[in-house]
């Protein structure tokens, strides 16, 4: 998968992931799972 993000967003993601012992990929994966779960629950 290829996506384009602003340098600002990428930097924020990397900073957060690094501070929490995550990789960028792990952060993106977890964020997507949480987003989907939240919206599926809200739709009920």
DSSP 20: T
Tell which phi-psi region holds residue 5, choosing left (phi > 0), alpha (psi between -120 and 50) or beta.
beta
DSSP for 2-18, please give it: -----HHHHHHHHHHHH
Query: What per-residue confidence (pLDDT) applies to 1?
Result: 85
Residues contacting residue 22 through CB under 8 Å, at least 6 positions apart: 16, 30
Number of Cβ within a 10 Å radius of residue 35 = 10
Q: What is the pLDDT of residues 1-44, one digit of tens each?
A: 899 999 999 999 999 999 999 999 999 999 999 999 999 999 99
DSSP 28: H
**Claim: this prediction has a pTM higher than 0.85:** no
């Amino acid at each position: 998968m290829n996506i384009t993000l602003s340098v600002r967003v990428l930097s924020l993601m990397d900073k957060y992931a690094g501070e929490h012992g995550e990789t960028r990929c792990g952060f993106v994966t977890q964020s997507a799972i949480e987003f989907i779960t939240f919206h599926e629950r809200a739709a009920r």
